[in-house]
């Protein structure tokens, strides 16, 4: 059997860090065609609203409607979709939703305040966003789990109205997606997509209400549209290709590791699957398992391309070194596939999610363990976090100053304001001083 | 005395909301000259590092150094700057820093975890960012309070290394800024600025270490550079013009309200100062106070332009209506200048900071009350928050699944993964099932 193409690297080589950086390098190409199309679509929806939406939906989704009412899915369609599922699918969705909800309940921030000796009160008021838009891709990449992972934290936060948009090319609907919307309590669903759906949510149209934030994955047009409307509305992260890093001490099953690498690689050809292992014999066993298992996979072409383009099996001489490399990679998903995996959690400073131990396979986290599957990619775990309830709450500072507080603080503010040459700042504080 | 130019609006007019939206409308112009300059500077620093930094610093800051060592301020210079201040200034800075620190301590998030009946453990690990860059403008807009407000939450979060950059055009240094860096424990200070400083922090050079996030205000070049490097590093918000909205019930002093409007307007000509008041006589009194006090202000030209261009005195028929308008504006700063102001806090859904009561003048919050003065502008309080400790912490999901947990969850994940056509996901879960 010929060996499956995947990089074999050794972290002891002097050139290793340069090889690693080259492996991780990924820059999405600026694409003028996409830029121009998005510019036109945003302007179209902003100026003519519903009329533009109907026209773009006809052009891009091959869906011909005469009015906007035909682009909203009534509640009973969602209920019917849920009822249409097999009991296994319905139960799986419901249990997954319950577990994700239970986990996210722990993330809810509460308002706080403290009172000073002079009666001043300082704090932060935490409130949910009023209205959020959830983008769900249509077609092949239409994932009900994505509905759960985006809708549930918004609902736990207490978002007033959650509006889902999902394109239905040629009218084709995904019952699992609609069922997930029903289970999570999405308030309204419109069958629009692409940059035009993002524009409608950001600016509002005669029919689509303007939202305060847009979340959810999408293609390059959707990503570019989100980038453009940021500021007018909030957006979640613009995600890069999905990544898994597995650290192995050579314990456990090579087949499990191979399949976990496949699970990442099957997303698309740019997905990244990397193994760091202290045991060369185990690396060989994983490579052998890859060779043996790959032909059995329905998505084998995608997996093979992803492994060849962006995968790697890397020998490291210690688990300490593996953790140091993991911190440099700051992976979206990190599996600690080793004995006493819990002892190594504190060695990891940067990762979107850490899957601890041989039983904690990433797929459980993708669907039903409870934590969110929307995670920082492309080294952004160095500075950002999984999607959570905190992304659907915002804070307002409360500055309640007593008369006595104004005397004490006013003198300090006056000195500092004069030091900055801001005399009106100083005088507004001084006016409150009793002479 | 001629009336100072400022819009007088009435919220009862049928066209009021359109007038309000026009008043709020602000779009920063795309500027090709800035775009091109930033493109060149980012590329220069990325490819030639220190050499480019030295060249740009010579060109833009008229500061001629032969090596990078001359662009780092040694610790003793910061200490000397602190020692050089008057005791009033030193005390004011120290007390302000203590109060800001005390407030931000309450924002620190902690890791959490829970254990399920089957022994699985789920949670989130909260960790500080490794290294943060703090941009501080040079020249006239060089504000020590900005150092306090950005550095303290980073330090409270536990950021490993805090690197400040501040341009010193022609070698001119601001002792208050350097003293603030010393008080807040900034780790290193480089006298570089502009897009080149942002590039150095984002990519790293031979001398400047790469950071994980860049915060702090700057001019249009700095803002554009931050926008471009976002993704490579995290950034804070890109701020718009500063805004205050004052809601008045006609109680209190017209002079105080006028000076509070000035304090916002003196920032720059685009700053926005708006009064909403239920009492027409009080609005007249405020307008009269504006006329009387304006000639006494050192920054009267800026204030007059800002009030004329973007200010407004608005009559509303009720405080309920005033709060509804405030929620539409979602102001950066909101002063509730009224009796029983605390009763109205819950009517406000969107604001960066609420200053409660006549004594709570915004200037106290700008310097020393404790809450952060970096606040969401341009209606983004609808979806974002004051700068805080949470901006310097990130979260990692912990997914520790027991063998029993893998049995239960694996079946659910398998059903959902097959439903999404992701067979490797399904099989990675199924492999852990005991038959």
Residue B215 touches chain A, beta carbons under 8 Å = no
- By Cβ distance, the residue of A298, A410, A412 closest to B96 is A412
Residues B52 and B73: their CA atoms lie apart, in Å, by 19
A317-338 per-position pLDDT tens digit: 999 999 999 999 999 999 999 9
* Residue B372 Cα to chain centre, angstroms: 8
- What value, to the nearest 5°, has the Cα angle with vertex A182 and ends A177 and A187? 110
Closest CA to A381 of A249, A217, A240, A230: A240
Instruction: Tell me the percentage of chain B whose pLDDT exceeds 90.
Output: 94
| pLDDT at residue A344 is higher than 90 | yes
List % helix, strand, coil for chain B (3-state, nearest 5): 50, 15, 35
Q: Which of A398, A403, A425 sits opposite B366 (nearest CB)?
A: A425
Average pLDDT of chain B is 96
Question: What is the DSSP-derived secondary structure letter of residue B421?
Answer: T
- pLDDT value at position A238? 78
Does the beta-carbon distance from A397 to B417 stay under 8 Å?
no
pLDDT computed for residue A182 by the predictor: 98
* Structural domain includes residue B376: no
In sequence order, which residues have a C-beta less than 8 Å from that of residue A91 and are 6 or more positions away? B412
**CA–CA dist B333, B364 (Å, integer):** 12
pLDDT given for residue A32 in this prediction: 86
Give the model confidence (pLDDT) of B299-334 as tens digits.
999 999 999 999 999 999 999 999 999 999 999 999
Could you give the CA distance from residue A310 to residue A303 in angstroms, rounded to a whole number? 10
Q: Is B174 on the interface with A (CB under 8 A)?
A: no
CA–CA gap between residue B155 and residue B157 (Å, rounded):
5
User: Do B80 and B126 fall into the same domain?
Assistant: yes
Bridge partners of A7, per DSSP, are A312
B417 has a chain A CB within 8 A of its CB: yes
- b (16+ CB within 10 A) / e for A245-268: bbbbbbebbbbbbbbbbbbbbbbe
**Residue B311, both tokens:** 């200010």
Burial class of residue B47 in the structure, from the number of CB atoms within 10 Å of its CB (0-12 exposed, 13-18 middle, 19+ buried): exposed
Q: A57 with A133, same domain? A: yes
**Closest-CA residue of chain A to B104:** A123
Residue A129 and residue A145: Cα distance in Å, rounded?
22
Q: Which of A304, A391, A396 to mutate to test the interface with B (most CBs of B within 10 A)?
A: A396
What is the C-alpha separation between B226 and B235, in angstroms, rounded? 7
First to last CA, chain A: 92
Q: Flag whether pLDDT at A315 surpasses 90.
A: yes
Q: Are residues A80 and A204 in the same domain?
A: yes
Report CB contact under 8 Å: A361, B401: yes
Looking at B187, B206, B235, the residue that finishes a domain is: B235
Confidence band (pLDDT; 50, 70, 90) for B435? confident
Contacts of B217 in chain A (CB under 8 A): none
- Domain-located, residue B364: yes
A386/B contact by beta carbon, under 8 A:
yes
Token digits of residue B419: 């439903």
Residue A141 — pLDDT band, cuts 50, 70, 90? low
Average pLDDT over residues A107-117: 97
The pair of three-digit structure tokens given for residue A303, joined into one six-digit string: 């997996």
Q: How many residues does this entry show for chain B?
A: 435
Q: Catalytic residues of A, which ones?
A: 332-333
**Mutation site for B-interface testing, chosen from A209, A365, A413 by largest number of B Cβ within 10 Å:** A413
How far is residue A82's CA from residue B434's CA, in Å, rounded to a whole number? 30
Residues A15 and A121 in one domain: no
Does B20 share its domain with B90?
no
Residue A253 falls within a domain, yes or no?
A: yes
Q: Is the pLDDT of residue B119 over 80?
A: yes
Domain tally, chain B: 3
Q: Is A358 annotated as a binding residue?
A: no
| φ and ψ of B422, to 5 deg | -110, 85
Choose among B210, B214, B196: nearest CA to B387: B214
How many Å separate Cα B227 from the centre of its chain? 14
- Are B364 and B405 in the same domain? no
Residue B325 makes CB contacts below 8 A (sequence gap 6+) with: B11, B20, B276, B314, B316
B350-379: average pLDDT: 97
A380:B234 CB<8 A: yes
A229 lies in some domain: yes
Range of the domain at A419: 401-430
- Asked whether the beta carbons of B363 and A407 are under 8 A apart, the reply is no
Confidence check: pLDDT of A285 > 70:
yes
Q: How many CA atoms lie within 13 A of B313 on its CB side?
A: 26
Q: How many angstroms away from the CA of B272 is the closest CA of chain A?
A: 15
**Among A283, A417, A107, A110, which residue's Cα sits nearest to residue B123?**
A107
- A219 marked among binding-site residues: yes
Q: What are phi and psi of B181, to 5 degrees?
A: -65, -40
Region A72-77: what's the mean pLDDT? 97
Interface contact A203, partner B, CB < 8 A: no
**Residues 236 through 265 of chain A touching chain B, CB cutoff 8 Å:** 238, 253, 255-256, 259-260, 262-263, 265
Q: How far is B66 from chain A (nearest CA, A)?
A: 30
Name the residue in chain A with its Cα closest to that of B433: A359
How far apart (Å, rounded) are the C-alpha atoms in residues A98 and B412?
A: 12
pLDDT reported for residue A149: 98
pLDDT at position A2 over 90? no
- Looking at the complex, report in whole angstroms how far the Cα of residue A70 sits from the nearest Cα belonging to chain B: 27
According to the model, what pLDDT value does residue B239 have? 81
* SS3 (DSSP) at A143: coil
Select from A178, A199, A213, A37 the least CA-distant residue to B383. A213
Helix, strand and coil in chain A, % to nearest 5:
50, 15, 35
- Pairing state between β A188-190 and A72-73: antiparallel
pLDDT score for A26: 80
pLDDT given for residue A140 in this prediction: 65
Contact call for B417 and A367, based on CB within 8 A = yes
Strands (E) located in A249-375: 272-277, 312-315, 333-337, 353-356
- pLDDT at position A236 is 93
Which ranges in B25-121 belong to alpha helices (H)? Answer: 32-48, 50-61, 75-84, 87-105
Q: Report d(CA A406, CA A403) in Å as an integer.
A: 5
A390 found inside a domain: no
- Residue A264 lies inside a defined structural domain of this protein: yes
In chain B, what residues touch A265 (CB-CB under 8 Å)?
Answer: 424
Establish if A102 belongs to a structural domain. Answer: yes
Contact A416 B213 (CB under 8 A): no
SS3 A286: helix
* pLDDT reading at A22 higher than 80: yes
Transcribe B113-137 into DSSP letters.
EEE-TTS-EEEEEEEE-SEEEEE--
Residue B238 banded pLDDT, cuts 50, 70, 90: confident
Compute the nearest-CA separation of B183 from chain A (Å). Answer: 14
Residues of B numbered 365-384 whose beta carbons fall under 8 angstroms of chain A's beta carbons: which are they?
A: 365-372, 375-376, 378, 380-384
Question: Which of A219, A235, A251 is a domain's end point?
Answer: A235
Q: Are residues B149 and B289 in the same domain?
A: no
Six token digits for residue B350? 């969107």
State how far the alpha carbon of A291 is from the alpha carbons of A5, B373, B423, B430, in Å. 9, 58, 17, 19
Residue A142 confidence class, pLDDT cut points 50, 70, 90: confident
Residue of B339, B99, B360 whose CA lies nearest to A120: B360
A6 and A311 in contact (C-beta within 8 Å)? yes
DSSP line for A371-406: S-S----TTGGGT-----GGGGEEEEEEEE--HHHH
| B197 φψ region: left (φ > 0), alpha (ψ -120 to 50), beta (else) | alpha
Contact between residue A381 and residue B340 where contact means Cβ atoms under 8 Å apart: no
Nearest Cα residue to B416 out of A387, A298, A176: A176
Q: Who wins on pLDDT, A114 or B240? A: A114
Distance CA B285, CA B255 (A): 8
Q: What pLDDT does residue A297 have? A: 97
Cβ of residue B21 closer than 8 Å to a chain A Cβ = no
Same domain, A191 and A257: no
The count of residues in chain A is: 435
Is B146 strand, coil or helix? helix
State which residue of chain A sits closest to B357, comparing Cα positions. Answer: A400
Q: pLDDT of B260-304, one tens digit each?
A: 999 999 999 999 999 999 999 999 999 999 999 999 999 999 999
Q: Per the domain annotation, does B393 fall within a domain?
A: no
Residues A42 and A66 in one domain: yes
A390 is in an annotated binding site: no
B175-183 mean pLDDT? 97
Question: Any chain A CB within 8 A of the CB of B282?
Answer: no
B333 is in an annotated binding site: yes
Cβ density class A277-316: b for 16+ within 10 Å, e for less? bbeeebbebbbbbbeebbeebebbebbbbbbebbbbbbbb
Are B153 and B276 members of one domain?
Answer: no
- The per-residue pLDDT for range B61-111, each reduced to its tens digit, is 999 999 999 999 999 999 999 999 999 999 999 999 999 999 999 999 999
Instruction: Examine the domain organization and report whether A225 and A253 are in the same domain.
Output: no
Mark which of B329, B349, B369 sits at the end of a domain.
B369
pLDDT higher than 60, residue A1: no
Whether pLDDT at B29 is above 70: no
Please state, in angstroms and rounded to a whole number, the distance separating the CA atoms of residues A93 and A88. 9
Distance in Å, alpha carbon of A66 to nearest chain B alpha carbon: 30
Indicate whether A204 and A128 sit together in one domain. Answer: yes
CATH of the domain at B330: 3.40.50.1980
- CA distances to A86, A138, B131 from A368, rounded to whole Å, are 18, 22, 34
The partner residue sitting opposite A416, judged by closest CB among B92, B357, B419, is B92
- Closest by Cα among B37, B197, B125, B12 to B393: B125
In this prediction, residue B28 carries a pLDDT of: 67
């Amino acid at each position: 059997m010929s060996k499956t193409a995947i990089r074999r690297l050794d972290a002891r080589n002097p050139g290793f860090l340069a090889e690693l950086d080259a492996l991780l390098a990924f820059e999405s190409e600026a694409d003028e065609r996409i830029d121009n199309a998005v510019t036109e679509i945003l302007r179209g929806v902003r100026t003519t609203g519903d009329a533009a939406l109907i026209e773009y939906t006809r052009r891009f989704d091959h869906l011909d409607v005469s009015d906007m009412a035909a682009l909203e899915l009534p509640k009973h369609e969602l209920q019917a979709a849920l009822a249409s599922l097999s009991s296994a699918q319905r139960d799986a969705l419901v249990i997954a939703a319950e577990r994700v909800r239970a986990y996210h309940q722990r993330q809810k921030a509460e308002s706080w305040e403290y009172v000073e000796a002079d009666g001043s009160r300082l704090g932060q008021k935490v409130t949910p966003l009023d209205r959020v838009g959830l983008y769900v891709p249509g077609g092949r990449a239409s994932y009900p789990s994505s509905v759960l992972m985006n809708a549930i934290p918004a609902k736990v936060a207490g978002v007033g109205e959650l509006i889902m948009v999902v394109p239905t090319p040629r009218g084709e609907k995904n019952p699992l997606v609609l069922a997930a919307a029903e289970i999570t309590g999405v308030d309204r669903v419109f069958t629009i997509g692409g940059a035009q759906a993002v524009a409608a949510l950001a600016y509002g149209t005669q029919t689509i209400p303007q939202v305060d934030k847009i979340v959810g994955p999408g293609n390059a047009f959707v990503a570019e549209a989100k980038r453009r409307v940021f500021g007018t509305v909030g957006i979640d992260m613009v995600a890069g290709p999905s990544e898994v890093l597995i650290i192995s001490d050579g314990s456990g099953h090579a087949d499990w590791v191979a399949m976990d690498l496949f699970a990442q690689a099957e997303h698309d050809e740019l997905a990244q699957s990397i193994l760091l292992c202290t045991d060369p014999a185990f690396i060989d066993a994983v490579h052998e398992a890859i060779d043996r298992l790959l032909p059995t996979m329905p998505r084998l072409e995608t997996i093979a391309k992803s492994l060849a383009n962006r995968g790697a099996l890397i020998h490291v001489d210690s688990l300490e070194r593996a953790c140091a490399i993991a911190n440099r990679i700051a992976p979206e998903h990190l599996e600690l596939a080793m004995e006493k995996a819990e002892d190594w959690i504190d060695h990891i400073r940067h990762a979107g999610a850490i899957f601890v131990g041989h039983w904690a396979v990433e797929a459980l986290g993708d669907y039903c363990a409870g934590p969110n599957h929307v995670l920082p990619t492309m080294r952004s775990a160095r500075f950002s976090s999984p999607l959570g309830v905190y992304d659907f709450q915002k804070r307002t500072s409360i500055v309640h100053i007593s008369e006595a507080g104004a005397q004490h603080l006013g003198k300090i503010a006056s000195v500092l304001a004069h030091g900055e040459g801001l005399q009106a700042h100083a005088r507004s504080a001084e006016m409150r001083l009793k002479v």
